[in-house]
Amino acid sequence: MIDYHCHLDLYPDPRLVVAECLARGISVLSVTTTPSAWTGTTALSKGQLGIRTALGLHPQIAGQRQSELRLFDQLLASAEYVGEIGLDGAPEFKSTWQNQVLVFEHILKSCRAAGGRTLSIHSRRAASEVLDRLERWPGAGKAILHWFSGNQTELKRAIDLGCLFSVGPAMLSSDKGRMLASRMPKDRVLTESDGPFAQLNGRSAMPWDVKLAVAELASMWKATQEDVQNILQGNLERLAASPPTAL
């Protein structure tokens, strides 16, 4: 199983979740929300190749944490993966929009200067604004749009730009989420939990809940769950094997 967007460090007992992921053989991209969280979160899975830690600065806190961009730049040389980054256009984050743009553009430029990174990107209510920037800085890396919720035109544009998508059970529980996922090329899809933020039946999603997304994709693609797992694993391997220099 693959959980390509999970906030391992934000669970009440991260070590327990890490141990369970290792026991179940789940490949995890452990994203962070601030550069200052990166070193501690990396230590949670030190020496474990199945769990990769991404250096991030979440758009929802870009207003408060803009000063950590300097730390971001210092750590980037040691970070192969970058996320969670992006833009959030929801009304409650409108007041920090200018900070968000400054932070996101700074990160894309730093990633490009560093030779490109694999990027896990948030684009809630800001899909076009995110795609505009990815188009402007193509050398920033390979973009995986997490929990994509744009419209069909924006989805088409993201596909044309070469983006991948990580989809989770929370996204696939809505009609719109399923409609978007059904229009994504199978070879561009990965699964995610977005735990512990994402909720499933009133509880935090766990990395192993990606099996619910696998089941949903199986019914969408008219394939067995085993076939879906093989497709997703192939997508992950291709992503890991290709250089992150271009979308």
Nearest distance, CB of residue 197 and Mn ion, angstroms: 5
Among candidate residues 247, 210, 242, 244, the one with its CA nearest the CA of residue 229? 210
- Closest CB to Mn ion among 84 and 88? 84
By CB under 5 A, the residues from 59 to 88 that bind Mn ion are: 84
- 34 or 231: CB nearest Mn ion: 34
Q: Which residues pair with 177 in a beta bridge?
A: none
- Considering only 18-26, 127-135, 168-176, 186-194, which stretch makes contact with Mn ion by CB under 5 A? 186-194
- Stretch of 10-18, 40-48, 151-159, 191-199 lying at the interface with Mn ion (CB under 5 A): 191-199
Question: Cβ of residue 122: shortest distance to Mn ion, in angstroms?
Answer: 6
The least CB distance from residue 7 to Mn ion, in Å, is 6
Rounded to a whole number of angstroms, the minimum distance from the CB of residue 115 to Mn ion is 25
Q: Within a 10 A sphere around the Cβ of 205, how many other Cβ atoms?
A: 24
Pick 93 or 231: Cβ nearer Mn ion? 93
Burial letters 45-67, b for 16+ CB under 10 A, else e: beeeeebbbbbbbbbbbbeebbe
Please, what is the Cα angle at 104 between 98 and 108, to 5 degrees?
A: 145
Residue with Cβ nearer Mn ion (142 or 231): 142
Three-state SS at 83: strand
Is residue 191 within 8 Å of residue 2, measured between CB atoms? yes
The closest alpha carbon to 131, from 117, 148, 114, belongs to 148
Q: How far is the CB of 203 from Mn ion (least distance, A)?
A: 16
CB of residue 5 vs Mn ion: minimum separation in angstroms? Answer: 6
Please, which residue, 134 or 231, has the CB nearer to Mn ion?
134
Largest Cα–Cα distance of the chain, in whole Å? Answer: 48
Closer CB to Mn ion, 56 or 116, in the complex? 56
Strand ranges (DSSP E) for the chain?
A: 2-6, 27-31, 51-55, 81-86, 117-122, 141-146, 164-167, 189-191, 199-200, 203-204
194 binds Mn ion (CB under 5 A): yes
Residue 177: name the closest of 194, 196, 202 by CA. 194
Min dist CB 118 to Mn ion, Å, is 15
Q: Which is nearer to Mn ion, 5 or 117 (CB)?
A: 5
Cβ-proximal residues to 214 (8 Å cutoff; 6+ apart), any chain: 1, 191, 225, 228, 229, 232
192 near Mn ion (CB under 5 A): no
- Window contacting Mn ion (CB under 5 A); options: 48-56, 193-201, 208-216, 221-229: 193-201
Q: Which position's Cβ is nearest Mn ion?
A: 194
Give the interface size with Mn ion as a residue count (CB under 5 A). 2
**Residues interacting with Mn ion, by CB under 5 A?**
84, 194
